[in-house]
Amino acid sequence: MSSPSRRLPHVDALKVLAAQVIVLHHLVSYGPLARAAHEALPWLAGALHQYGRMAVQVFLVVGGYLSARGLSPRGKALQAAVPALLWRRYLRLTLPFLAALALTLGACGLIASSWPELVPADISLGQLLAHALLLHDVLGYEALTVGAWYVAIDLQLFALLVGLLWLARRGWRHPGRLVVGPLLVAVAALASAFVFNRQPELDAFAPYFFVSYGLGALVHWLGLWRHRGTGLVLLALAMGAALLLDWRDRLALALTTALWLAWAQQRHAEGRPLLPTAWAALLAAGSTPSYALFLLHFPVLLLTNALLAQLPGATPAIGLLLLLATWLLANCLAVPFHRWVEAPAARLDPLAWLPRLRTA
């Protein structure tokens, strides 16, 4: 893990918060544990069930911010080879996802007799292949685990961002090309906000979500511009107009996240820490396995739900205690999963697998 001094505490804070809210949202949405939570804490469980899924917007904004920071740190045209970038991203996302999917299917096999309503009736080879290619929603297959749609959308969004930056590199041959990439991303984000994001039938495709991802990318690039404040005001006004045209809670949350991220980024650039060093180190420790937690908590949830279903005379209080144990166990297991599965996948060199990608 990177040392805290090299981390971005404001990004770590958003990742930790979003990951925990999404996990809690799933805990209060599936099976006997969810019923116990709604009986014991109806207001809190109801709020998490109804609004918790919106935390994905935070992940989308952060994802766009980190991708722009990695692909075009100074706002310049893309320099790396596109096939290598896409292959590396695919491996980094898919290998941990498939490992977690295998654990989920194994848990389904264990609980099939006690909790059949969440166990897939039939799993075809085509469905498994579609998951491996992250095309299950596009091809109309039922997802085999929660969050599978997000993994697929993440790859699509990254590919769209890479494509726009590649277009800036290939299509313009004048000094202004240094800003063409961010301008293309801004246009795509506006098209998403005013057109694609208002059509729910497109939610299996990147343009529907690109407004959130693009906001994160633009926050990074605006931080490099001397007229940063003016750019943020224009961005906020454009998103405000999109909200006036068609109010969407998820877009309002994405805009709020992006503006907070811009403020926190500026403080970080000025050397004014948001948190004490100890807190920053704690956030870094929680942020590192956030993707692992996102992938791994559902098989844990399946097993603990099956356990609660087998307990005779279980009260809501017992269910709530088991829910807390599920949350703690998922967080603990995410650490070795990140270390032994996710981190090795991120270190794989795609050029060693596909030598032809060596040419830029």
Q: What is the 3-state secondary structure (H, E, C) of 270-288?
A: CCCCCCCHHHHHHHHHHHC
For 40-97, write each residue's pLDDT tens digit. Answer: 999 999 999 999 999 999 999 999 999 999 998 887 778 788 999 999 999 999 999 9
- For residue 282, the tally of other CB atoms under 10 A from its CB is 16
Top pLDDT among 356 and 15 is at 15
Q: What is the structure's pLDDT at 2? A: 40
CB 181 within 8 A of CB 165: yes
Does the pLDDT of residue 1 top 50, yes or no?
A: no
Q: Where are the domains of the chain?
A: 4-354
The span from the first CA to the last CA of the chain, in angstroms, equals 30
Top pLDDT among 276 and 220 is at 220
Q: What is the structure's pLDDT at 333? A: 97
Nearest to 267 by CA among 10, 4, 2: 10
Can you say whether the dihedral through the CA atoms of 288, 290, 296, 301 is positive or negative?
Answer: positive
Q: d(Cα 287, Cα 3) in Å, to the nearest integer?
A: 13
Q: What is the structure's pLDDT at 206? A: 97
Q: d(Cα 4, Cα 1) in Å, to the nearest integer?
A: 9
The average pLDDT across 295-308 equals 94
Q: pLDDT category, 352, cuts 50, 70, 90?
A: low
**Average pLDDT, whole number, for the chain?**
90
Does the pLDDT of residue 8 top 80, yes or no?
A: yes
CB 227 within 8 A of CB 200: no
| Structure token pair of residue 114 | 């006690």
The average pLDDT across 183-195 equals 97
Q: What is the structure's pLDDT at 322? A: 96
Q: What is the structure's pLDDT at 159? A: 98
Q: d(Cα 280, Cα 74) in Å, to the nearest integer?
A: 26
Please tell me the total number of residues recorded for the chain in this structure.
360
- Which of the 8 DSSP states describes residue 147? T
CB 309 within 8 A of CB 33: no
| Structure token pair of residue 269 | 């650039």
Q: What is the structure's pLDDT at 334? A: 97
The average pLDDT across 160-177 equals 77
| Structure token pair of residue 229 | 């404040």
| Structure token pair of residue 96 | 């941990």
Lowest-confidence segment of 158-167, 181-190, 231-240, 276-285 by average pLDDT: 276-285
% of the chain surpassing 90 pLDDT: 74
Q: d(Cα 174, Cα 38) in Å, to the nearest integer?
A: 60
Q: pLDDT category, 351, cuts 50, 70, 90?
A: low
Q: d(Cα 94, Cα 152) in Å, to the nearest integer?
A: 9
Q: What is the structure's pLDDT at 310? A: 86
The average pLDDT across 202-206 equals 96
% of the chain surpassing 70 pLDDT: 91
Range among 36-50, 276-290, 341-355 with highest mean pLDDT value: 36-50
Q: d(Cα 178, Cα 172) in Å, to the nearest integer?
A: 9
CB 280 within 8 A of CB 84: no
Q: d(Cα 136, Cα 142) in Å, to the nearest integer?
A: 7
Does the pLDDT of residue 5 top 50, yes or no?
A: no
Threshold 0.95, pTM exceeds: no
